[in-house]
Chain A
């Protein structure tokens, strides 16, 4: 802009603009700002950013005196530079410009808010999935610990002096159902409120690690799937399947076991009394508990054949047409866990649907080696 007002610039004074200016000298326009000292305006100095316009006829400002010179310039009508620049550069933004800018800004903001919303949902879903995975991992860890410490004893182990008389020639109680049903697919002896149909049940005695100053002991443990009605903070009621852990500590397990041994009718329900209102929820939104014993009693694969384990943990594997008792084996467990947001969308009765399990749930499987004597 300064260069525009430079009177009669020589090529030496033009600086870096010299080379570009030389070719347009013939198009220069004289602008009289002072008497006998015309200014020259070179259109190439205006640059590509501003369109060249023919200047308006200019009245020499000297005739109006020094005071009116600026006054005259302040009036846009008399401003000799007006023709060189459009109105808006002087007057600011027009309403149309502001509206257009606001519209563009609104569109951008809407896009960003939408993107933020999607990101927020993805983040929340990711957190819920992580929570579900964490719960499943904790559940699997505790289950593996319990299952790998199951206590078993054959009925022939009655020659130990340390065994109380009431325990002599007694197999330790144990209940397992691969499909939640009773013997030969009869009704389950347990009446657990809201238990998931088809899910495995397992109740047994397991060793527990020393706690505090107490020595190692045993406890009654059990695993099952049952539903629970909950009310969230918004007042909505939802019913979910959860993985429950039935746990009776050693202080009560011993007396319960003695009572069971002394009973004339030693049914599983006397010793194992699962109650969803009392037992711990090990993992929420969990279904499809599958527990498999290696090797099972029948030994031969056949679809629909019950996965049966006989005589507590003294399960056997066939050998040459007969049966041979072995003292150790493996247990496999599976669970399927739904993330929280999907658990609320899908009715819990449809959780065990194969499509839903494969599409929305995450399934976990592990095996443990049962200790041997």
Chain B
């Protein structure tokens, strides 16, 4: 009986709480020994959830890599196209150069890039007032088969309209469904503050913002800055 002393005092419970001295241990492990408590399970699940979430969160990042690469490439090409329109002196109304290349430059605002249809495809941007900043807003969407240059109908990013100056259009601020990118081209004077001539450079900032369907605060901006001489 000494080996199993009568628990006449408070030490009885303490003895049983001591795992090593617990005579019932081999018969019936305490709950703390035999299984996880609810708290432990919840904590374990929480840790596992955080770990899984972190791992799974990596996959969209990888998948976005392709999308971002595509957007960056298209943005660079769009900017290059706009710059080509601006620096070229010849494409314009009825296939001729503008009347005064020192006063106006042109940017394509329709999806038809056929060079023979240029009378309504471009918007004139005045650059004859160096003190005035000119801003052009252009939405870009994918178009197929819009002219005879689009053999086999590839899906090409083309302008779907445009606005020169004025109030910032709502589709630019809020985004527009179906738009791949929204473009903001800003013409600003550089060093000279008199009428531009053939020696005066004009600064051009082209902001390509993707995706075009997103709000302005949620878009990625690719900014290209250049200067051209009339």
Contacts and interface: CB of A to CB of B under 8 A. Distances in A.
B97 A326 contact: yes
A355 to B, nearest CB: 9
Contact of A81 (B23, B28, B158): B28
Contacts of A119: 59
A77 interface: no
B156 A328 contact: no
A5 B12 contact: yes
Contacts of A242: none
A175 to B, nearest CB: 19
A192 to B, nearest CB: 19
Given A90-B27, A294-B91, A328-B90, A299 B7 contact: no
B152 A366 contact: no
For chain A, give the interface size range. Answer: 35 or more
A295 to B, nearest CB: 5
Nearest to A120: B59
A136 B77 CA distance: 11
Given A129-B70, A330-B91, A144 B80 contact: yes
A317 interface: yes
Given A296-B115, A334-B154, A364 B77 contact: yes
A357 B95 contact: no
A69 B155 contact: no
B191 interface: no
Interface stretch (B61-69, B160-168, B170-178, B204-212): B61-69
A364 B153 CA distance: 12
Contacts of B76: 137
A134 B72 CA distance: 10
Contact of B7 (A3, A7, A352, A368): A7
Contact of A140 (B23, B77, B90, B117): B77
B73 A136 contact: yes
B134 interface: no
Interface residues of B, number: 63
Contacts of A129: 66, 69-70
A3 B80 CA distance: 82
Contact of B84 (A79, A133, A367): A367
22 contacts: A62-B1, A66-B4, A89-B34, A122-B63, A125-B66, A133-B69, A133-B73, A144-B80, A292-B113, A295-B116, A298-B116, A301-B148, A307-B148, A319-B96, A329-B91, A354-B152, A357-B152, A358-B153, A364-B73, A365-B81, A369-B83, A372-B89
Given A127-B62, A330-B88, A353-B152, 14 more contacts: A7-B7, A62-B1, A66-B3, A81-B24, A126-B62, A127-B66, A137-B73, A290-B150, A299-B116, A326-B90, A326-B97, A358-B144, A365-B81, A367-B84
Interface of A: 1-3, 5-7, 34, 37, 62, 66, 69-70, 73-74, 79, 81, 85, 89-90, 119, 122-123, 125-127, 129-130, 133-134, 136-137, 140, 144, 179, 198, 288, 290, 292-296, 298-301, 303-305, 307, 317-319, 326, 328-330, 332, 334, 336, 352-354, 357-358, 361-369, 372
